[in-house]
Structure 1
Amino acid sequence: MGATYMVDLSATTDPGDRVAPLGSGTDSTERMVATVGRAVAVLTALAESPRDLGTNELARMTGINPSSVSRVLATLARDELVKRVPESGRYRLGLRLVQLGNAALARVDLREVVRPHLLALTEATGETSTLSIPGEHTTMTVDYVQSPSSVRSVAEVGRPSVAHATATGKVFLAHGGRTPEGALVTYTPATITDRRELARQLTVVRARGWAEALGERENDLHAVAAPVFDSHGGLVAILGLQGPAARFDPAAMRSGADELLRHTVQLSPRVAG
């Protein structure tokens, strides 16, 4: 039998905001929910950062005060959900999350249905194809087929998209996803940080049926993506293609988008709910 993991969330609450005794009802529940929310915010910030982060950086990124962030990190580290790097004192995601993620992915039957389409997309285009699923705030890659080229874009299972700076993220936003609050983070000189320009692009995505990103999250990386809908018009998955800008140029991207649309049309009836 595997080990039992327990997170003592009461250890992460603010002074004066401890979990109340039984009998306090709604107040106790609301405090517990707030505590979980802080933990999720910290984990999300670590997941979206390309580097390890310190307590003060996490506080600035999440809007949570540093003392609360410190308590959240201590609790998460104890249960191996985050790892403290001794040399720098900074934090990164822990290996326990890999176990949890793999357990979740094992239940994603969608991958079995989509896998042949990913193989066909990569064979037709020569580029890396991806399958992402939408969440509440962003999308996450759950499967991919790597380009056979020695110079290629490398996908990662479990990697979240950046909603305003990736093709999959733009598909997500165009079809009901929540736009990030606050300033839009700049990743490269090409990142869209103007909300009006982002809104204009999302209108284009809805009209033509696919999204593109040209070096907006990573320099020299181009990508296209298209939605897969269920029978009610809900977004259930996103197919993507990505490759080096030197090879996956605008003409190749348009051709790739046509391939994506052909496969999403085939997939939608199979995932209809």
Structure 2
Amino acid sequence: MPRILATVEHAVRLLELFDADHTEWTLSDLARHVAQPTSTVHEQLTTLCETGLLTRVSRGRYRLGWRLLKLSSALYGSLPWYPPAHAAMERLARRTHLLAFLCVLDGARVLCVARSVQGRDGPPVAGELDFELPAHATASGKLLLALAGRPLPYPAPVFTERTVTTAAAWDAEATAIRQHLHAVTADEWANGTGGLAVPIRGEHGVVLAALGVSLPTPRLRESDMLLRALRDAADEVSWHLGYRAPIRAGNSEH
């Protein structure tokens, strides 16, 4: 890998270590996590601080810098579907009292770009803070892969005994997802956690994102009610964005 590309990759790895549970890092902790000499990491941190992507606070600790807020604002401003989808996600969370989220397909990766901050109760579920989700073991991932006509990721890591890991099983499930336009998981990423997801579409039916909820597996007995809530929320956003779902004879689902 050319040196300039390796340098960028290392900087991205440092930035990705900052999340809701790790808002500050010391130089030594960062060096240990990325398995690089402290002198190398210090050089990278200095550059990131000078560009405003990180900031150095007291006691030799580092936090994310304000420039990231500007970049994130520019990103979300370039996505006209994001504000109405985010508002619908929050309403869904209040209505269902579950963790709701928006996910997108980025190449082969499934990224969680927003999570609800209110309305949720109940025990913790898997993936509450993850940015990149396992595409073959989450409802949003399965939905986005199936609607994009993507194969099962290879290799497909095994998380539980219910994780889908064979092409035949995936092909059958992907066909069902495309037919019913929703995805369900139960104990596939972690035992005790399930998920439901439906698509948000833009004009001409383009799939923009997955709107989903994560929940304790026993609550999947409420899946009919939850799917109605999900579809109501997603359809409202899709309609706002100009999508008009075709009416299918003999089937009220859309």
The TM-score normalised by the length of structure 1 is 0.62
Match in the other structure for 2:206: 234
Please list the CA deviations of residues 190-229 of structure 1 after superposition, one character each: whole Å capped at 9, or x if unmatched.
2111121011111111111100111211221110000111
> Which residue in 1 is equivalent to 2:232?
262
Q: How does 1:72-221 map to 2 (within 5 A)?
A: 95=64, 99=68, 102-103=72-73, 105-107=75-77, 108-145=79-116, 146-153=118-125, 159-176=131-148, 178-179=150-151, 181-221=153-193
Letter in structure 2 aligned against 1:13: P
What one-letter code is carried by the residue in structure 1 that aligns with 2:172? R
For structure 1, list consecutive stretches of 5 or more residues without a partner in the other structure: 1-11, 15-31, 56-72, 82-93
Q: Residue 163 of structure 2: SS of its match in structure 1?
A: coil
Q: For residues 119 and 268 of structure 1, what CA distance do their matches in structure 2 show? A: 16
Cα displacement (A) at 1:13: 2.1
Q: Counterpart of 1:245?
A: 217
Structure 2 stretches lacking a partner, 5+ long:
18-31, 36-40, 54-62, 244-254
Q: Deviations over 1:80-100 (max 9, x none)?
A: 59xxxxxxxxxxxx957x927
Q: Structure 1's 113 and 95: CA in aligned 2 closer, same or farther, altered over 3 A?
A: same
CA pair 242-104 structure 1, distance change in 2 beyond 3 A:
farther
Structure 2 CA distance for partners of 1:272 and 1:105, relative to 1, 3 Å: same
- Whether the 8 Å CA contact 2:104–2:113 is kept in 1: the answer is yes
Q: Which amino acid aligns with 1:198?
A: W
Asked if the contact 2:140–2:197 (Cα under 8 Å) also holds between the matched residues in 1, the reply is: yes
2:196·2:212 contact (CA, 8 Å) conserved in 1?
Answer: yes
Instruction: Specify whether residues 129 and 193 from structure 1 end up closer, same or farther in structure 2 by C-alpha distance, changes over 3 A only.
Output: same
* Alpha carbons of structure 1 residues 258 and 176: separation in structure 2 relative to 1, 3 Å: same
Partner AA of 1:225 in structure 2: A
Q: Is the 8 A contact 1:136 1:178 kept in 2?
A: no
Of structures 1 and 2, the one with the larger relative CO (CA 8 A, separation 6+) is 2
Cα separation, partners in 2 of 1:77 and 1:252, compared to 1, 3 Å = farther
Q: Is the 8 A contact 2:126 2:193 kept in 1?
A: no
Instruction: Quote the Cα distance in structure 2 between the aligned partners of 1:133 and 1:75.
Output: 33
SS of equivalent to 2:144: helix
The one-letter amino acid paired with 2:229 is: E
CA contact (8 A) 1:142 1:158 kept: no
Deviation at 1:241, TM superposition (A): 0.9
Distance across 1 between alignment mates of 2:131 and 2:94: 23
Alignment check: 8 A CA contact 2:104 2:210 kept:
yes
Question: What code does the residue aligned with 2:82 have?
Answer: R
Q: Single out whichever of 172-181 and 186-195 deviates more from structure 2.
A: 172-181
Q: How many residues align?
A: 218
Quick one: structure 1 residues 202 and 99, their matched pair in 2 at CA, closer, same or farther if it must change by over 3 Å? same
Q: Does 1:271 align with 2:241?
A: yes
Give the whole-Å Cα distance in 2 for the aligned partners of 1:217 and 1:75. 38
Give identity over the alignment, percent. Answer: 20
Q: Structure 2 vs 1, CA of residues 78 and 186 (structure 1 numbering), >3 Å: closer, same or farther?
A: farther
